[in-house]
Structure 1
Amino acid sequence: MSESFSNCAFCDVLSNGPHRLILQDDQGFFLLDAYPVSQGHGLVVSNRHVSSFFELTKLERKSLLGLLESAKRWLDRQYAPDAYNIGINDGAIAGQTIPHVHIHLIPRYEGDVFDPRGGVRWTIPEKANYWD
């Protein structure tokens, strides 16, 4: 990592050993979420400690999106999900609790929720349902 910040769960991952890592390249890594919302829920994380996706360099963004594709293929083989949600909480007001950029890759399975329509629109529940 180019910088290390104390008390950052993601900055500590590489220094705590590679056993938690599933995939890795020069700019980032993929690991399973410690508090998954579905089987196989994982995170693509930048090596460099920056809080916003918009602070990443073009090289970092390209790398993280490549890791996202590789992670999807890995999850397809391991868990065979039916679909995916991909999300970034960018800023505290958007729900970001760890100020280190990371992309959630959430496998979805048929029947995991009663009605999956709207997906990430449910971030603001009172505005999510536009079809009724």
Structure 2
Amino acid sequence: MSDSSPAPDQHVPNSVFLEVPADQRVAQNELVFALRDTNPVSPGHTLIIPFRQITTWFDADPSEWAAAWDLIGRCKDELDSALAPDGYNVGFNAGRAAGQTVPHAHLHLIPRFAGDVQDPVGGVRHAVIGRGFYE
């Protein structure tokens, strides 16, 4: 599902994501690429990563955001076909306090399946334990 590789000047060293061989990418476009998460929370958990090494998605420019949403759509279509999930969570962690452990921006595309948690109400609101319940 990969497109052509980025120009060499787009490769920034010192990112664990940029060290992953290109043949392990599940998709890419000019500005971002996708990898399966090595510690997935569900089958198909995918990361969308800019080639430019920025710390969080708050540092991304509009063209990187547009490229990321394009790739999210392509990856979602592929996951829909391969896994038929019942829903998705999409998001990012910005900063250590929010749980970011890799200092290179990445979006999580997480397929969700009916029954994968006892009560999914609150979704990503459960990032702060005990605060997700509101019904």
SS at match of 1:125: coil
SS at match of 1:101: coil
Q: Partners of 1:127 and 1:40 in 2: how far apart? A: 27
CA contact (8 A) 2:12 2:51 kept: no
1:4 aligns with 2:12: yes
Cα shift readout 1:7-45 (whole Å, capped 9, x = no counterpart): x211212xx2x2211111110111111111101011111
Give the structure with the higher percent helix. Answer: 1
Percent identity over the alignment?
Answer: 39
Aligned equivalent of 1:64? 68
SS at match of 1:30: strand
SS at match of 1:70: helix
Specify the code of the residue in structure 2 equivalent to 1:5.
Answer: P
Aligned equivalent of 1:96? 100
Q: Structure 2: which 5+ runs fail to align? A: 1-8
Cα drift, residue 126 of structure 1: 2.3
Cα drift, residue 3 of structure 1: 4.5
SS at match of 1:126: coil
Aligned equivalent of 1:36? 40
Q: Partners of 1:52 and 1:37 in 2: how far apart? A: 21
Q: Partners of 1:60 and 1:10 in 2: how far apart? A: 16
Aligned equivalent of 1:80? 84
TM-score by length of 2: 0.89
Q: Partners of 1:30 and 1:98 in 2: how far apart? A: 15
Q: Partners of 1:47 and 1:31 in 2: how far apart? A: 12
Cα drift, residue 65 of structure 1: 1.0
Cα drift, residue 54 of structure 1: 1.5
1:129 to 121, 129, 133: 133
Q: Partners of 2:91 and 2:66 in 1: how far apart? A: 16
Specify the code of the residue in structure 1 equivalent to 2:87.
Answer: A
TM-score by length of 1: 0.91
Aligned equivalent of 1:110? 114
Aligned equivalent of 2:52? 48
Cα drift, residue 2 of structure 1: 2.3
- Point out 4+ residue stretches in structure 1 off by more than 2 angstroms: none
